[in-house]
Chain A
Amino acid sequence: QQQVKQSPQSLIVQKGGISIINCAYENTAFDYFPWYQQFPGKGPALLIAIRPDVSEKKEGRFTISFNKSAKQFSLHIMDSQPGDSATYFCAAAVSGAGSYQLTFGKGTKLSVIP
């Protein structure tokens, strides 16, 4: 059972455009939703995270939108740059349940073309 579904699997965006990656979750106990960026051969880097008490969080060119009723959240990358080309993972976790394990989506490979 895949608890976090991520789409699209791959995405090609022109430089300067907006990249949008979507995730949907099933477990209503999830209350922490981070996004990670991973370059080939490297470990995932924490990009931005949100909790369900807010509907949007922005950090620089990166914005998370969160829809609790639809159980969906998305990452928007504004003014996408070739340096943003990487694989992006959404994840979800339950706080205070004793474990804090992250459940990851399968990833989106983003290519930003000049």
Chain B
Amino acid sequence: NAGVMQNPRHLVRRRGQEARLRCSPMKGHSHVYWYRQLPEEGLKFMVYLQKENIIDESGMPKERFSAEFPKEGPSILRIQQVVRGDSAAYFCASSPPPLRNEQYFGPGTRLTVT
């Protein structure tokens, strides 16, 4: 039973470029969460999605960031016009339908903006 998969594991972007981070939840999980971790910090919630729906985006920056979880395919976190402050580890988690607090994390995507 494969865990949560994220790709790429490492991503380098120049300032102003776009970053696309992908997340495939565990089999049977229909809820996806994105978190951001800055160095020496805990994880900060960004967005919670179900298939084709954004349920809670209260942690997402208002500009440049967007997320989707289409009917088919992985969830995508998109960061437009990246800036140095976007450099962080981005983690995706998934949970099974009846236990939405029980979140299992992927290995993360480490984004470096140069």
Q: How far apart are the CA atoms of A36 and B93 in the complex, in Å? A: 12
Taking CB atoms, residues of chain A closer than 8 Å to B40 are 106-107
The minimal Cβ–Cβ distance linking A89 to chain B, given in whole angstroms, is: 6
Stretch in B63-71, B78-86, B95-103 with 4+ CB within 8 Å of A: B95-103
Instruction: Check if A105 sits within 8 Å of B42, measured CB to CB.
Output: yes
Interface residues on B, range: 20 to 34
Instruction: Check if A45 sits within 8 Å of B105, measured CB to CB.
Output: yes
Interface residues on A, range: 20 to 34
Contact with B along A53-93 (1 / 0, CB 8 A): 00000000000000000000000000000000000010001
When A43-B4, A44-B91, A89-B42 are in contact, do A101 and B56 touch as well, CB less than 8 Å? yes
- The chain B residues found within 8 Å of chain A, CB to CB, are 4, 6, 31, 33, 35, 40-45, 48, 55-56, 58-59, 91, 95, 100-108
